[in-house]
Amino acid sequence: MADVDIATRAPESDAQEGQTASGIAGDTKVDQGAASMGEITKYNDIDVYVSKPQDYPHTSGKLLLLLTGGTGVHSTNNQLQADKYAEEGFLVVMPDQFAGDPAPTTTTSTAPAEAHPSIIEQVKLGVASVAKSFTIDMWLARHTPEKVLPILHAVISSVKEEYADAVSSGGGIYAVGYCFGAKYVLLLAAELEKDVVSGQRAPETQAEEGMVKQGPQIKCGAIAHGTQITVSELAGVSVPMCVVAVKEDSLFPDHVREEGVEAMQKNGLEHEVKVYEGVPHGFAVLGDYADEGIVGKQKDAFGQMLGWLKAH
């Protein structure tokens, strides 16, 4: 997440253009009058945004776990994204993966770009870039699988009881993940050793011999423009998975995606992959994009992910 040029109008970005709609770092503007229809509640002392189908509980919707990018559960855009799935019949649960610590914002120069910036301006931009990179790296270091997975499992345990009807209706839990959240959809879609699930050990480290495995925790998943994803995480998925990606995305490199998809194919995993060109990282989450081409592809990505979930 250290790239200075990534998705300055996308919800995953830590750049701001003036006052944001929700006050959360990086949240892009939403249409005037736009308001989310769900509510924030707590499960196991964890903030969770819940958005229900209009006719629930008369008609039980399938339970959908939505994992956000760095802007988190209080982002208006993320809440509206959850509402879109609720409007399609899903009971959406969107947990605060960051324990009240969403991605920070750091100020960079807003002066008009010069064709040939002075040496001093180049130095200023360089310093801002380093500061921004350091700030985001420190934030990421606070939110590792050892910290995030126990939060997710605590929420899953609670909602399985609270919304047992929705879990039963769908035959399990569905999940979508954007940016940061995409990595965790993949982890929830895999068998993990018990000490990884409990946060006692990082997924990439060596397990003790004979360690009991758990999972997967979901029955079907869809991810969009993931960050920090590894080939082994893609290869470890054991439930049907849909992947939305951005061509030449520095946060989800082509070679990682290609090698991971190749492993899925070898494992005989049911999957769907679509790579979008001419869009920024983060494009699939609702935001204020002036470019109609981006808006159109955002709708296409939502349709792809929604269609995948409904088909399973």
pLDDT of residue 87: 96
pLDDT of residue 80 exceeding 70, the answer is: yes
- Give the pTM: 0.83
Percent of the chain with pLDDT over 90: 62
Judged by average pLDDT, the poorest of 78-92, 151-165, 208-222 is 208-222
Judged by average pLDDT, the poorest of 81-85, 104-108, 248-252, 285-289 is 104-108
Enclosing H/E stretch for 261: helix 254-266
Which of residues 216 and 35 earns the better pLDDT score? Answer: 216
CATH number of 39-310: 3.40.50.1820
pLDDT of residue 124 exceeding 50, the answer is: no
Q: Which of the listed ranges 49-63, 69-83, 105-119, 187-201 does the model predict with the highest average pLDDT?
A: 69-83
**How distant, in Å, are the alpha carbons of 37, 62, 114, 158, 176 from that of 82?**
9, 13, 40, 19, 10
What are the pLDDT digits (tens) for 146-170? 999 999 999 999 999 999 999 999 9
Per-residue DSSP letters for 39-93?
Answer: EEEEETTEEEEEE--TTTTTSPPEEEEEE--TT-TT-HHHHHHHHHHHHTTEEEE
Per-residue DSSP letters for 222-251?
Answer: EEES-SS--HHHHHTB-S-EEEEEETTBTT
* pLDDT band, residue 275 (cuts 50/70/90): very high
